[in-house]
Amino acid sequence: MMNIKLRLILMNFLQFFVWGSWLISLGKYMIVTLKFTGGEVASVYGTMGIASLFMPGLLGILADRWINAERLLGTCHIIGAGLLIWASTIHDYPTLYIIMLLNAMFYMPTIALNNTVSYIVLEKKGFNIVEIFPPIRVWGTVGFIFAMWAVDICGWTASPMQLYVSAGSGLLLGIYAFTMPACTPVKTTEKKSFASSLGLDAFVLFKQRKMAVFFLFAMFLGAALQITNAFGLPFISDFSKVYPDSFGVQHPNLLTSISQISETLFILTIPFFLNRFGIKKVMIMSIFAWVFRFGLFGIGNPGSGLIFLVLSMIVYGMAFDFFNISGSLFIEKEAPITIRASAQGLFMIMTNGLGAFLGGVGSGWVVDHFTVDGVKDWHSIWFVFAGYALLLGIVFPFAFKYQHKRGALPVVSH
């Protein structure tokens, strides 16, 4: 029988392989093949933000009270696989939007369910979750990268085949999840309220100025993340006429995967930076990393400007990790223990929910504004996004009042 850690590694690998198969390249498929507008592409990506507002909380209630977490995880992936197969046959925007919204409603909760199953299984086997889970979870990022490479090498970045790859791996994971050790709901007299499960009781934190400002900027940075998810590949692919034989145009997913590799490396630096500089300076670093992320895209190209694209991919690791992971640790330290889980849920809502939705709508408007007769002025588009991040970087230090005490980094299990 396979070692339980190896079984969890496989589960985490597949969990993000499913997502990596299409998350970065679907924008190219919609723009190049289906001829969707920037606003339509952005709104399809925005479905993940809408789903993240309520679905993780709803399915969390089911897993907490009535249904084994591993069965719920498997069911969601099987349904998601069917929806992606359906999506691969659709060519009109309204229908594809509805299907991808439904898919997001079943995929987004599986990120938390995957963690829940991993925690419960490790705990039952007597492992220290803090020590054992991170090396298992990193295989999720590896799975995401492998999926991007597979779709790229097979030449499917502008093809519906990417949806079949995702559906196939999702179906495999769905069946595999049912074979995991039982993760039964915990029998307790304490009933978690619906509002608590959605993270709503953490809104009391908005009474504190520093927390209100922090959550507001977390939402703005969540919007920044959505911009590159939706338009990174369409931007690189638009150089196909100017640099048709360049590495970036021929293998856009391979080039973009440098971002995910950078992300795994920057995670390791977070304890040092948080302890030494504190959340305020780390968040400022993140914001200005976004300025460079967008600005380098604005001056880069897959030919003579390839180095600028590569640098943009590298700086992405800091841009993403220093607000996403560091922000989670900051909340763990600042939120009262009675609402800590809800506060993490609220952080998820602000970044992956509201932030992602607003980022999708806003970026789609910007892209369409700078599109004339089907030709996109990518320099102006990326410089507008860089200006957006720069404005955040100027305002944030004055708006966020926080005094750092060195060595105040919390030890957390997620």
Domain with residue 295: its CATH number is 1.20.1250.20
Is the same domain home to 270 and 156?
no
**Which range marks the domain in which residue 107 is found?**
1-183
In a domain, 414, yes or no: no
Q: Please report, in tens digits, the pLDDT of each residue of the chain (414 residues total).
A: 468 889 999 999 999 999 999 998 999 999 999 999 988 998 999 898 899 888 877 887 787 778 888 999 999 999 999 999 999 999 999 999 999 999 999 999 898 888 888 888 888 888 877 677 778 888 988 999 999 999 999 999 999 999 999 999 999 999 999 999 988 876 655 556 666 655 566 778 888 888 999 999 999 999 998 888 888 888 998 998 899 989 999 998 899 999 989 988 888 788 788 888 888 899 999 999 999 999 999 999 999 999 999 999 999 999 988 888 788 778 877 878 777 666 777 888 888 888 988 988 899 899 999 999 889 999 999 999 999 999 999 999 999 987 766 654 444 433
| Structure-block tokens of residue 167 | 């559906």
Considering the domain architecture, whether residues 372 and 248 belong to the same structural domain is answered as yes
Q: Which residues are 372's β-sheet partners?
A: 375
For the four alpha carbons of 251, 255, 259 and 261, in that order, the dihedral sign comes to: positive
DSSP letter assigned to residue 159: S
Residues 162 and 233 reside in one and the same domain: no
Residue 229 in any domain: the answer is: yes
What number of CA atoms fall less than 13 Å from residue 59's CA on the CB side? 26
User: Beta strand pairing status for 371-372 and 375-376?
Assistant: antiparallel
Of 183, 205, 238, which one is at a domain's C-terminal end? Answer: 183
Judgement on whether residues 67 and 210 belong to the same structural domain of the protein: no
Q: How many Cα atoms are found within 13 Å in the side-chain-facing hemisphere of 305?
A: 15
- Does residue 135 sit in the same domain as residue 250? no
Asked, for residue 46, whether it belongs to a domain, the answer is yes
Whether 117 is in a domain gets the answer yes
Q: Are residues 142 and 198 in the same domain?
A: no
Q: Does one domain contain both 228 and 177?
A: no
Q: What is the pLDDT of residue 411?
A: 43
Asked if 202 and 343 touch (Cβ cutoff 8 Å), the reply is: yes
Is 102 in the same domain as 200? no
188 within some domain: no
In the prediction, which pLDDT does 189 show? Answer: 53
Residue 50 located in a structural domain: yes
Within-domain flag for 289: yes
Same domain, 162 and 304: no
DSSP letter for 402, please. -
Verify that 179 and 201 share a domain, yes or no: no
Examine the domain organization and report whether 232 and 138 are in the same domain.
Answer: no
Is residue 251 domain-shared with residue 283, that is, in the same domain?
A: yes
Cα angle for residues 97, 103, 109 (degrees, 5° grid): 135
* CB within 8 Å of 49: residues ≥ 6 apart: 226, 352, 353, 354, 355, 356, 357, 358, 359, 360
Our count of domains for the chain comes to: 2
d(CA 117, CA 38): 37
Instruction: State which of 159, 183, 207 marks the end of a domain.
Output: 183
Tell which of 164, 183, 202 closes a domain: 183
